[in-house]
Amino acid sequence: MSDYWQSTAPGAGCRASRAQAPGDARTMSLNGTWRFRLSPTAAGTGTAFQTDEFDDSDWDRMPVPSHWVLEPFTPLAGGPARSMRGTSEGPLYTNTSYPIPLDPPRVGSDNPTGDYRLAFDAPDGWAHAVLRFQGVDSCAKVWLNGAELGWSTGSRLPFEFDAPLRPGRNVLAVRVHRWSAGTYLEDQDMWWLPGIFRDVELLERPADAIDDHFVHADYDAQTGCGTLRVDASIASIVEVPELGIRMAAGEVMTIPVEPWSAHSPRLYRGTLRSPGEVIELAIGFRRIEVVGGALHANGTPLTFRGVNRHEHHPDTGRTLDRETMLRDVLLMKRANIDAVRTSHYPPHPEFLRLCDEYGLWVVEECDLETHGFIFTGWEGNPPDEPAWRDALLDRLVRTVERDKNHPSIVIWSMANESGTGKTFGDMRTYLTERDPSRPVLYERDPSYRDSDFYSLMYPSLEELDAIGRRDETRPDGVTDAEDERRRALPFLLVEYAHAMGNGPGSLSDYWRIMTAYERICGGFVWEWIDHGFNARDAHGRPYVMHGDDVADYEPRGGRFSLHGLIFADRTPTPGIVELAKAYAPLQIDMVAGRVRVRNGRHDGSTADLAFTWRVEVDGYARGQGALEVPAVAPGETVVVPMPVIDQFPLGEVVLTVQAALAADAAWAPTGHVVAWGQATIATRSPSAHLAPVCGGSRVSGSAELRVGAARFDPHTLRLRRLGDLDLDGPWLDLYRAPTENDHGQGDLNDIASVWASTGMGRMVDRIDEAEAGDGWLRVTGRTGPSAHPHGVAWSMCWRADGDGVVLETVADFVGPWENTPYRHRDIWVPRLGLLFALPGGMDEVEWFGRGPGETYVDSYEGSRIGRFTRRIDDLQTPYPVPQENGNHVQTRALQIRGAGMPTLGVQGRPTVDFTARRWRSLDLERAMHPVQLVDSGRVWLNLDHRQQGIGSASVGPALPERYRVPRERTTWSVRLG
């Protein structure tokens, strides 16, 4: 078929896939500035550009590697450079939908096509050269000096051609189509980013070079021995000096070794030498196997502390440099992450070399997803169509052949979300024959017949617990035999905890279940990084662009591209703080007056860690020292006496024990905290008891009301002054700006739309009456939305208390909150609390409670109890889509202050949630980007009895009931002063 880009064939003319390894054969990078011209159809600029003599002097310049849609660009007709970002010619984002008609294998005639040209001088003295492309999205045809070399699809996979160079000047021409038949196999939830986006290299292939090699390095935990065999495509010698190994390729040697693991990534460096070439070996001995329905590494059960990682950079898309890849690895290691699923394609090979070296277990996924066939009801799904078989197998073969020698890769994942089909059976057979050393994963086929794991995405805590017990519900449409087989498989939680926007919640809850059952070999949070791009609005103000910022294009996946644990610029979010605690390899807790340390590492004792203790009273340091903890073997627990701590007559005494690196590690410096535990070991808090008020009379008239230092507006009956501080409030506050998780997924768990349709964001207050007595004032009223019958009846009772006041609030849910007259919906309130307006001059908060980052009822275990001071402007987490943020649970006390103004002190009785920001929830809700949030001139302080948790419902189960705000009569109090 002449329209190669619309053919189900994977390509033509390419060399056989093979391993990549550094060696002494010379290489020449062809990265750099190429000539480029974009055309609207697959015909490109025609045929002349392939020829040597073609004049490209007026063509655009294009960096290679890059995605042309992300580069400043000069259009065909000339004119100033412009950016395609934000237009339908630029980066497009869809989640499940294909951006082209579902008409496989054809694509539309509008098919942006980039013609690239590069002239280069041939290196001297090369016998033979190979041209290697590490990744071109989505289909490329290549000519050298006018002669066609071949073409390829498979965007995140390498392809090579024999390259007959001539002395002196050579001209390389590459035609890249944005859409191709390959597009049907690449429907991952991510931006569509065409271009030559990974390196282009020329490789010298001397006579008798080693074309391919396969390192088999097994480890037997019983004997402590490794068994090495290196297969090579030509007679070669294997040398590993450190092990005294010198043997022929194909021979087997068994010898005592230290195994490779993510915690101890022991690599033995060696060489493989043929008459024509020496290549470097980085050998890690390890055995990964399924034993008794559980996953074992080196003889011990393995539980992945994982994340899903896409390749993303906010300027360059999926073109990443080594520094960025290393940054990902270090950020992961420092957050106690020890495993990565390369969702949903093989990464740049350098990332895998870093995983080998720094230690991360890798589940490598093939570049295959056909999710958009949901729109045909899976009719014609490529894995089930013989016409696509070669293309699918080609993708898997290229994945495995390129990466088979990485010790970090422990599981092959055949695809993501590609339905079912016979070709998966063929892919499985290939893997079993080619690489029996690694188990195989495929999550989407309910029979799991081709998978060594049972696997799901986003189960609820209850479902996960049932899976741990092997008591899960049987999937529909499977046979008894399949059901029985599945129940005996280990379970791998391929995606969980959707980190979109503010979230995820319940990380520690999930982790507790995962570690409770040997069947569950861990999980991978969705996902590592926000896929957002740096952009500027019409006023030149920077913002993070997401799918909804692309004008005039459908379908679009909206802001669903932002679901990372780190922001697009790699700033950590609060989610990663929580994850670092959940994934901490040591559990440290205080039990019966002693400190208990459990080593939850897969391997490695705690000898590399130094333990220290610290005592704080009401958040003020009162003592600290080293804690003697003997080295704890993996899986073992020790209990040591608590340090001797002085008695303190007043206040909350909190003991913190932490374990930090005693010496520099490759991935973090000395002192990096790996794990910590905390407990309140003594406390003396103010009595929550308030004497009943009595002997009052009804307030009427317009005289100013006072309770101790508090003065109230006679009309609104709100607090207007406390001592010398002007303020206003409180309003009963039942609302928050919906988080991404509050929006649920489609119609599912979309509590935000229930709030919107039942008026929860626009409450109206009514004062019913006020009564005052000696040193007290009680105001009663009702707060409810316009147009709806539900509301909250409340009373606020103020009592003088020394130089301050205690406010006790009673709230009662009245009217239909459940099964409402409006479409029979149940309404959960996101918060039950009090909102105050303070002068805009307030600029700092000091608090004693959880911190320093934001915390929620289902996400606070990663934040310590302590005393923290932050500027108000720094209390907001700049989520690229504005939403609720900046809450602090379990706050015992806080002070809010500003230069030249009285300080407001707040005490929880015993605790409150607080939020302080310069705008209100409605402003957060309305803003599309953080640049649209403007200072309202006041500081809005929330003192809440409770705010609901954050959950994971943007893809995942509904927020567990225990993290909601109960709709029941509730009384709470705070002291202001």
| Catalytic annotation, residues | 417, 495
Asked whether position 416 contacts ligand GAL by CB under 6 A, the answer is: yes
Could you give the string, one character per residue 578-607, with x where binding to ligand GAL holds by CB under 6 A and - elsewhere?
------------------------------
Q: Toward ligand GAL, which CB reaches closer, 405 or 416? A: 416
Asked whether position 867 contacts ligand GAL by CB under 6 A, the answer is: no
Question: At its nearest, how many Å lie between ligand GAL and the CB of residue 108?
Answer: 24
| Number of neighbouring beta carbons within 10 Å of residue 965 | 21
What value, to the nearest 5°, has the Cα angle with vertex 599 and ends 598 and 602?
145
Asked whether position 405 contacts ligand GAL by CB under 6 A, the answer is: no
Question: At its nearest, how many Å lie between ligand GAL and the CB of residue 741?
Answer: 12
Question: At its nearest, how many Å lie between ligand GAL and the CB of residue 308?
Answer: 7
Q: Toward ligand GAL, which CB reaches closer, 36 or 93? A: 93
Beta carbons within 8 Å of 358's beta carbon, 6+ residues apart: 265, 329, 330, 333, 666, 667
Q: What share of the chain is helix, strand, coil (3-state, %, to 5)?
A: 15, 40, 45
Task: Look up residue 530 and give its amino acid.
Answer: D
- 360 with 309: CB under 8 angstroms? no
Could you give the string, one character per residue 713-752, with x where binding to ligand GAL holds by CB under 6 A and - elsewhere?
----------------------------------------
Q: Toward ligand GAL, which CB reaches closer, 557 or 761? A: 557
Question: Largest Cα–Cα distance in the chain?
Answer: 106
Asked whether position 952 contacts ligand GAL by CB under 6 A, the answer is: no
- 562 with 878: CB under 8 angstroms? no
**CA 854/CA 861 separation, integer angstroms:** 11
Task: Give the SS3 label for residue 490.
Answer: coil
Question: At its nearest, how many Å lie between ligand GAL and the CB of residue 193?
Answer: 15
Asked whether position 955 contacts ligand GAL by CB under 6 A, the answer is: yes
Question: At its nearest, how many Å lie between ligand GAL and the CB of residue 955?
Answer: 4
| Number of neighbouring beta carbons within 10 Å of residue 45 | 20
**CA 515/CA 656 separation, integer angstroms:** 24
**Residue 331: both structure tokens together:** 């950020």
Chain-centre distance of CA 244, in angstroms? 43
- Which residues in the 516-535 window bind ligand GAL by CB under 6 A? 526
**Residue 913: both structure tokens together:** 């949630």
Q: Toward ligand GAL, which CB reaches closer, 190 or 283? A: 190
Edge to edge, the sheet with strand 653-661 lists: 620-626, 609-617, 653-661, 673-682
Q: Toward ligand GAL, which CB reaches closer, 141 or 341? A: 341
Could you give the string, one character per residue 904-943, with x where binding to ligand GAL holds by CB under 6 A and - elsewhere?
----------------------------------------
- Which residues in the 768-827 window bind ligand GAL by CB under 6 A? none
**Residue 49: both structure tokens together:** 């550009």
Asked whether position 192 contacts ligand GAL by CB under 6 A, the answer is: no
Question: At its nearest, how many Å lie between ligand GAL and the CB of residue 498?
Answer: 6
Q: Toward ligand GAL, which CB reaches closer, 392 or 642? A: 392
- Which residues in the 562-581 window bind ligand GAL by CB under 6 A? 563
Question: At its nearest, how many Å lie between ligand GAL and the CB of residue 890?
Answer: 30
Beta carbons within 8 Å of 340's beta carbon, 6+ residues apart: 306, 307, 308, 309, 332, 355, 360, 361, 362, 363, 524, 528
Question: At its nearest, how many Å lie between ligand GAL and the CB of residue 424?
Answer: 17
Q: Toward ligand GAL, which CB reaches closer, 486 or 563? A: 563
Strand partners, 493: 456, 523
CA distances from 68 to 71, 122, 316, 471 (A): 5, 26, 10, 50
Q: Toward ligand GAL, which CB reaches closer, 770 or 959? A: 959
Question: At its nearest, how many Å lie between ligand GAL and the CB of residue 191?
Answer: 12
Beta carbons within 8 Å of 465's beta carbon, 6+ residues apart: 513, 516
Nearest to 773 by CA among 702, 689, 693: 693
- 94 with 554: CB under 8 angstroms? no
Question: At its nearest, how many Å lie between ligand GAL and the CB of residue 310?
Answer: 8
- Which residues in the 447-476 window bind ligand GAL by CB under 6 A? 457
- 813 with 790: CB under 8 angstroms? yes
The residue from 60, 189, 384, 472 that contacts ligand GAL (CB under 6 A) is 189
Nearest to 616 by CA among 848, 399, 812, 813: 848
The residue from 186, 401, 452, 495 that contacts ligand GAL (CB under 6 A) is 495
Q: Toward ligand GAL, which CB reaches closer, 189 or 199? A: 189
Judged on CB neighbours under 10 Å (0-12, 13-18, 19+), 153 is buried
Using the Cα atoms of residue 96, residue 101, residue 107 and residue 113 in order, give the sign of their dihedral: negative
Edge to edge, the sheet with strand 454-457 lists: 440-441, 409-413, 361-365, 339-341, 304-308, 520-526, 491-498, 454-457
Using the Cα atoms of residue 436, residue 353, residue 396 and residue 272 in order, give the sign of their dihedral: negative
Asked whether position 95 contacts ligand GAL by CB under 6 A, the answer is: yes
Question: At its nearest, how many Å lie between ligand GAL and the CB of residue 141?
Answer: 29
Q: Toward ligand GAL, which CB reaches closer, 405 or 455? A: 455
Question: At its nearest, how many Å lie between ligand GAL and the CB of residue 494?
Answer: 8
Question: At its nearest, how many Å lie between ligand GAL and the CB of residue 246?
Answer: 46
Alpha-carbon torsion angle 800, 806, 810, 811, nearest 10: 130
- 688 with 701: CB under 8 angstroms? no
Sequence length of the chain is 977
Could you give the string, one character per residue 300-329, with x where binding to ligand GAL holds by CB under 6 A and - elsewhere?
------------------------------
Could you give the string, one character per residue 670-709, with x where binding to ligand GAL holds by CB under 6 A and - elsewhere?
----------------------------------------
Tokens 């209100």 sit on residue: 920
Count the site residues for ligand GAL by CB under 6 A: 11
Helix or strand run (H / E) with residue 463: helix 461-468
Asked whether position 417 contacts ligand GAL by CB under 6 A, the answer is: yes
Q: Toward ligand GAL, which CB reaches closer, 38 or 955? A: 955
Asked whether position 403 contacts ligand GAL by CB under 6 A, the answer is: no
Judged on CB neighbours under 10 Å (0-12, 13-18, 19+), 696 is middle
- 546 with 881: CB under 8 angstroms? yes
- Which residues in the 231-260 window bind ligand GAL by CB under 6 A? none
Q: Toward ligand GAL, which CB reaches closer, 708 or 880? A: 880
Nearest residue to ligand GAL by CB is 189
Q: Toward ligand GAL, which CB reaches closer, 201 or 311? A: 311
The phi-psi region of residue 654 (left if phi > 0; otherwise alpha if psi is between -120 and 50; otherwise beta) is beta
Query: Which chain residues interact with ligand GAL by CB under 6 A?
Result: 95, 188-189, 416-417, 457, 495, 498, 526, 563, 955
